[in-house]
Amino acid sequence: MKNDLIVLKDKSSDPKIWDKPEAKTIFKEIKILEDKITSFNNLEKSIQSIEEFYILLKDQYDENLSNELIDESKKVLIDSINIRYLNLMNDEADHYNVFLEIHAGAGGTESQDWAQMLQRMYTRWAESQKNCNVSLIQETRGEEAGIKSCILKISKEYSYGWLKRESGIHRLVRISPFDSNKRRHTSFASVWVYPEIDEKIEIEINESELRIDTYRASGAGGQHVNKTDSAVRITHLPTNIVVQCQTDRSQHKNKSYAINMLKSRLYELELQKRKDLENEQNKNKKEIGWGNQIRSYVLHPYKLIKDLRTGYETSNVNDILDGKIEKFLENSLTI
């Protein structure tokens, strides 16, 4: 880690660094590495302080001091766990912001309602994080209820690292609120997570390989949005990747945003190719890929949410659907 910091600081000493497009990224990486080193040094000092405290308490026991030592030990344990998770997120793109796509599966209103429940779950998680911003980039509403698809952008350091293993199929089992006979239904929705790339990463896109369509934005957004073709859909013909944006009233801004999203998708595709190659070389490493069922949410006849990769499960379904998914995210980092 320190060697990486030295290399980055050497770059930052270049007097012409601010003239280069990657300057912002280089200094951001320096800050991330410095924060990790500072956190480790602070943890080390706290442990030494606790050890000294313990020796003092052994010589002369005091109940108040003992309780204080226990409280401090708990704080240090929490800090060490948080530092461990941050160090597990050491892939190239882990510290980036993230785009999160949700698509309803087959099943009409049932799956569309489930997709909206997932949208709310991830939005509530993001809103509960410190210094985190979540924005709705695109949304297609269902005919009766729920959503057919949506794209969220979550802006926070390490948001891609935390959420990258949420990609896959999410399965819901419940008594349908849309079924007058109160029968049990199984619904599916897919989640796809990819990082927002920055100036450091160069992705070349040939304009001739793009099909650009404009359309009227759906849902709320004001008279101008709904009456003009401000929304933009871009198809990358070689890969058949489709991105769309309707977040702004300006078609030009939506197109620019969609291009950036396309670059992020192409970058994520390249990351996935690397992972596939690693998985071929190491058969014991389980691939977490698009199209695989990763988590089951059972609300009837019993309450249980279980991650099918880590085995972690909980019956506290209300908290999970309200965005308290930290334990699932933490366990996924150890896969």
Residue 122 has pLDDT above 90, yes or no: yes
Lowest-confidence pick of 219-223, 239-243, 308-312: 219-223
Q: Are residues 131 and 173 in the same domain?
A: yes
Q: Are residues 60 and 209 in the same domain?
A: no
Lowest-confidence pick of 1-10, 176-185, 252-261: 1-10
Range 135-150 average pLDDT: 93
Q: Are residues 244 and 316 in the same domain?
A: yes
Which token pair is 68? 């204080």
Q: Are residues 148 and 248 in the same domain?
A: yes
Q: Are residues 67 and 102 in the same domain?
A: no
Among the listed residues 146, 235, 126, the one whose alpha carbon sits nearest the alpha carbon of residue 189: 146
Tens of pLDDT, residues 185-234: 999 999 999 998 765 666 778 888 999 998 877 655 444 444 567 889 99
Q: Are residues 129 and 228 in the same domain?
A: yes
Residue 87 has pLDDT above 60, yes or no: yes
Number of domains within the chain: 2
Residue 291 has pLDDT above 60, yes or no: no
Taking the model in full, what pTM does it have?
A: 0.72
Residue 288 has pLDDT above 80, yes or no: no
Q: Which amino acid is at 162?
A: W
Distance CA 178, CA 184 (A): 11
pLDDT at 242: 92
Question: What whole-number percentage of the chain has pLDDT above 90?
Answer: 41
Domain-ending residue, one of 88, 107, 127: 88
pLDDT at 278: 55
Q: Are residues 114 and 235 in the same domain?
A: yes
Tens of pLDDT, residues 164-189: 999 999 999 999 998 888 889 999 99
Distance CA 178, CA 111 (A): 11
- Which residues form the domain of 28? 2-88
CATH code of the domain covering residue 147 = 3.30.70.1660
Of residues 223 and 161, the one with the higher pLDDT is 161
Residue 31 has pLDDT above 80, yes or no: no
Q: Which amino acid is at 188?
A: F
* φ/ψ (deg, to 5) at 140: -115, 115
Q: Are residues 113 and 53 in the same domain?
A: no
- 256: how many CB neighbours lie within 10 A of its CB? 14
Q: Are residues 211 and 62 in the same domain?
A: no
Q: Positive or negative, the Cα torsion across 212, 164, 335, 293?
A: negative
